[in-house]
Amino acid sequence: MKGETVFDYAPAPENPDIARVKQHYQPFIDGEFTDGGGEPLKTLNPATGEVLAEVSTVSSSDVDNAVSAAREAFERVWSPMPGTERAKYVFRLARLIQERARELAVLESLDNGKPIKESRDTDIPTAAAHFFYHAGWADKLGYAGLGRDPKPLGVAGQVIPWNFPLLMLAWKIAPALATGNTVVLKPAETTPLTALVFAEICQQAELPPGVVNIVPGGGDVGQTLVSHPGVDKVAFTGSTEVGKQIQRQLAGSRTRLTLELGGKAANIVFDDAAIDQAIEGIVNGIFFNQGHVCCAGSRLLVQESVVDEVLTNLRARVETLRIGDPLDKNTDIGAINSAEQLAKIRELVASGEGEGASRWTSPCPVPERGFFFAPTVFSDVESSMRIAREEIFGPVLSVQTFRTLDEAVTMANTTPYGLSAGVWTEKGSRILWLTSRLRAGVVWANTFNRFDPAAPFGGYKESGFGREGGRSGLAAYLQGDDDD
């Protein structure tokens, strides 16, 4: 707490000029930046609430153009190109991201609100790694277990969320390109900027025009894109609600679909866990990226015999989290992405209090302007409460207790979601027993929030279907020998 501290770190702000923020950004279609026909949007810096830049958005005829450009590029240039040559383009993209890493990290934090420490150390390097990894597959697809000569699908229409803008773009574009598809991607309405700098990178890499198209806009643009008849494959990451709409819309069509939706992951802590690292894992699980993570460990299930110890240590640890200016290198928790999201978090937190859970919020100082929410832990939570069932997508943890293993498994699985889960115990057999019983696409044991392009990621049940990363992730973008 300020004033009482002996050792205060002093402000350590990154320089926003490094991001080279422009006043006006344009859609990227067929290798060119041109203004679109939609209403320009203003993207805000959520740490201040101020306008960062204006972005021209696309109209539906722009989307048509983008899809046509992608189709042309697919047929004439990209799919006839030998994999070895395609690989080298994708390697270039990886390298260019690495070269412009700092600029991209600062821009990401300005546009999204996440701490610079995270953009710099996680988002940007992992995005580069995705391109690097997938580049290597471009000329090795026959080894992926999908047939001797799997073929690309054509044009991929991709819609990504605001929580990891550049990283989500990498998860979508890298495998699509490596497998020989071309893309039209819509970044999220509140975080379009790094996608448009990525478009510059495509130019610097001399990527053939039309292979990558970036079409900024709102939900309506997303709608147009995913239902466009010229799109062979749709990839969507976002809310379960919108995912269901898309699935409904595409039902019965030949368009291939993968969805990566919400989650309400259980983070299960046993009495024999390595307690200090488990606390770190809990904190990382729900407070990394302000809790704006689909796979966040938002439900803490603690073995009853250790709940007091865990909660005491957890609160002490959470109190050391620094919330503030995303560009400050010492900030642990940045801004909530938008006023809308902040309102949703507040609403759900109010419901938690209303339904009788006990709320604890960190006494850390919170900036006066901008969209911020202090880390909050609810205990005495019942499974029936909204905060135990609904995805909050904010720095809010709900804590429940269990007594037996079966109870923990049942609680973890009793949810329509199934994206991820965490297990904390020093007993190896128990970890492996649990991993076979947890209905989640990703299980982290004695760790949390680990992502790697080589490790497939995706959900069970209403958290979506399809995987991104690894060998399995390629399947979404290819026709195997026996697919029709």
State yes or no: is 260 an active-site residue.
yes
- Decide whether 121 or 206 has the Cβ nearer to another protein: 121
The β-bridge partners of 457 are 468
Distances (CA, A) of 462 to 210, 219, 251, 388: 33, 21, 16, 16
Closest approach of another protein to the CB of residue 428, in Å: 6
Angstrom distance (rounded) from CA 165 to CA 67: 22
State yes or no: is 295 an active-site residue.
no
Task: Decide if residue 276 touches another protein (CB under 8 A).
Answer: yes
Residues 128-167 that bind another protein (CB under 8 A): 129, 132-133, 135-140, 143-145
Closest approach of another protein to the CB of residue 440, in Å: 16
Q: Are 459 and 441 in contact (CB under 8 A)?
A: yes
Task: Decide if residue 287 touches another protein (CB under 8 A).
Answer: no
Closest approach of another protein to the CB of residue 139, in Å: 6
Measured over the CA atoms of residue 384, residue 389, residue 394 and residue 397, the dihedral's sign is positive
| Pairing, β 41-45 against β 50-55 | antiparallel
Distances (CA, A) of 192 to 51, 88, 99, 156, 270: 13, 26, 20, 19, 42
**Whole-angstrom distance between the N-terminal and C-terminal Cα of the chain?**
63
Closest approach of another protein to the CB of residue 406, in Å: 9
Q: Could you say which of 67, 171, 470, 479 contacts another protein (CB under 8 A)? A: 470
Closest approach of another protein to the CB of residue 121, in Å: 7
Task: Decide if residue 126 touches another protein (CB under 8 A).
Answer: no
The β-bridge partners of 302 are 269, 401
- Residues 14, 118, 202, 294: which is the catalytic one? 294
- Decide whether 139 or 220 has the Cβ nearer to another protein: 139
- Strand ranges for 312-448 from DSSP E: 358-361, 376-379, 396-402, 420-424, 442-445
Closest approach of another protein to the CB of residue 374, in Å: 18
Task: Decide if residue 275 touches another protein (CB under 8 A).
Answer: yes
Query: Can you read off the two tokens belonging to residue 206?
Result: 């001399």
Q: Is 459 exposed, middle or buried (0-12, 13-18, 19+ CB in 10 A)?
A: buried
Task: Decide if residue 382 touches another protein (CB under 8 A).
Answer: no
- Decide whether 417 or 477 has the Cβ nearer to another protein: 477
- Among candidates 322, 313, 394, which has minimal Cα distance to 351? 394
Amino acid, res. 24: H
Closest approach of another protein to the CB of residue 408, in Å: 10
Task: Decide if residue 365 touches another protein (CB under 8 A).
Answer: no
Angstrom distance (rounded) from CA 255 to CA 253: 5
- Among candidates 291, 297, 299, 313, which has minimal Cα distance to 373? 291
Task: Decide if residue 357 touches another protein (CB under 8 A).
Answer: no
Task: Decide if residue 102 touches another protein (CB under 8 A).
Answer: no
Task: Decide if residue 8 touches another protein (CB under 8 A).
Answer: yes
Part of the chain binding another protein (CB under 8 A), chosen from 23-31, 214-222, 381-389, 432-440: 432-440
Amino acid, res. 37: G
Task: Decide if residue 50 touches another protein (CB under 8 A).
Answer: no
- Decide whether 236 or 444 has the Cβ nearer to another protein: 444
Q: Are 139 and 82 in contact (CB under 8 A)?
A: yes
Task: Decide if residue 81 touches another protein (CB under 8 A).
Answer: no
Residues 440-459 that bind another protein (CB under 8 A): 446-447, 453-454
Angstrom distance (rounded) from CA 307 to CA 269: 9
Task: Decide if residue 330 touches another protein (CB under 8 A).
Answer: yes
Query: Can you read off the two tokens belonging to residue 212?
Result: 């990558």
Task: Decide if residue 426 touches another protein (CB under 8 A).
Answer: yes
Closest approach of another protein to the CB of residue 87, in Å: 6
Angstrom distance (rounded) from CA 159 to CA 95: 24
- Residues 108, 260, 391, 468: which is the catalytic one? 260
Angstrom distance (rounded) from CA 71 to CA 60: 16
Angstrom distance (rounded) from CA 349 to CA 363: 16
Task: Decide if residue 402 touches another protein (CB under 8 A).
Answer: no
Q: Which residues bind another protein (CB under 8 A)?
A: 5-12, 84, 87-88, 91, 117, 121, 129, 132-133, 135-140, 143-145, 272-277, 280-281, 320, 329-330, 405, 426, 428-430, 432-433, 436, 446-447, 453-454, 470-471
* Catalytic positions, written as ranges: 260, 294
